[in-house]
A and B are shown apart, each in its own frame.
Chain A
Amino acid sequence: MIEAKDLVKRYGPHTAVDHATFKIERGEIVGFLGPNGAGKTTTMNMLTGYLSCTEGTVTVDGMNILEHPLEVKKRIGYLPENPPLYPEMTVREYLQFAGEIKKVPKQELPKRIDEVMQTVGITDVAGRLVRNLSKGYKQRVGLAQAMIGKPDILILDEPTAGLDPKQILEIRQLIKDLGKSHTVILSSHILPEVSAVCKRVLIINQGKIVADDTPENLAKRLLGGSHLLLRIDGTPQQIESATRKVENVRNLSFKESQEPGTVEVVVESDKDKDIRRDVSKALGAAGLPILMMRSLDMTLEEIFLHLTTKEEEVAKV
Chain B
Amino acid sequence: MMSILKRELKSYFLTPIGYIYMGFFLLVAGVFFTFGNLITRSSQYTGFLGGILFIYLFAVPLLTMRLFSEEKRQRTDQLLLTSPISIPEVVLGKFLAAFTVYLITLVITVMYALVVGIYGDLSFWETLGAYIGFIFLGASYIAVGVFVSAGTENQLTSALVSFFSLLMIWLIDPISNSLPVDLTAGIIFAALLVVALCGYIYLNTKNLYITAAVFLLGAIIIAASYFIDKVVFIGFMRKFFSWFSLNKRYENFSMGLLKVDSLVYYLSFTGLFLFLTVRLLEKQRWV
Contact = CB atoms under 8 A, between A and B. Distances in A.
A115 to B, nearest CB: 19
A80 B287 contact: no
Interface string B247-268: 0000000000000000000000
A76 interface: yes
Given A100-B3, A101-B3, A85 B82 contact: no
Interface stretch (B7-15, B187-195, B229-237): B7-15
B75 A84 contact: yes
A53 B13 CA distance: 38
A145 B79 contact: yes
Nearest to B284: A51
A310 B32 CA distance: 73
Contacts of A98: 79, 83
30 contacts: A11-B287, A45-B78, A50-B81, A50-B82, A50-B285, A52-B285, A69-B86, A70-B84, A70-B85, A73-B82, A73-B83, A78-B82, A84-B76, A84-B77, A84-B79, A86-B11, A86-B74, A88-B11, A88-B14, A89-B14, A93-B10, A97-B3, A100-B3, A101-B3, A101-B4, A101-B79, A101-B84, A101-B85, A102-B83, A149-B83
A52 B287 CA distance: 8
Contacts, number: 70
Nearest to B81: A50
B119 interface: no
Contacts of B4: 101
Contacts of B75: 80, 82, 84
A52 B78 CA distance: 13
B209 interface: no
A103 interface: yes
Interface centre among B7, B11, B79, B287 (most CB of A within 10 A): B79
A98 B84 CA distance: 11
Interface string A45-77: 100111110000000000000000111011010
Contacts of A85: 74, 76
Nearest to A72: B84
Contacts of B287: 11
A84 B286 CA distance: 21
Contacts of B15: 88
Contact of A70 (B2, B3, B10, B86): B86
Q: How large is the interface on B (under 10, 10 to 19, 20 to 34, 35 or more residues)?
A: 20 to 34
Contact of B286 (A45, A52, A71, A93): A52
A217 B80 CA distance: 39
A87 interface: yes
Interface of A: 11, 45, 48-52, 69-71, 73-74, 76, 78, 80, 82, 84-89, 93, 97-98, 100-103, 145, 149
B197 to A, nearest CB: 25
A76 B7 CA distance: 22
A85 to B, nearest CB: 7
A49 B78 CA distance: 9
Contact of A103 (B76, B77, B84): B84
Interface in B61-79: 74-79
Nearest to B70: A86
A49 B76 contact: no
A26 B250 CA distance: 60
B181 to A, nearest CB: 44
Interface centre among B80, B81, B86 (most CB of A within 10 A): B81
Contacts of B86: 69-70
Nearest to A87: B74
Given A84-B78, A86-B7, 8 more contacts: A45-B78, A50-B285, A70-B86, A73-B82, A84-B76, A93-B10, A97-B6, A102-B83
8 closest residue pairs by CB, A with B: A100-B3, A84-B79, A84-B76, A88-B14, A48-B82, A74-B84, A73-B84, A101-B83
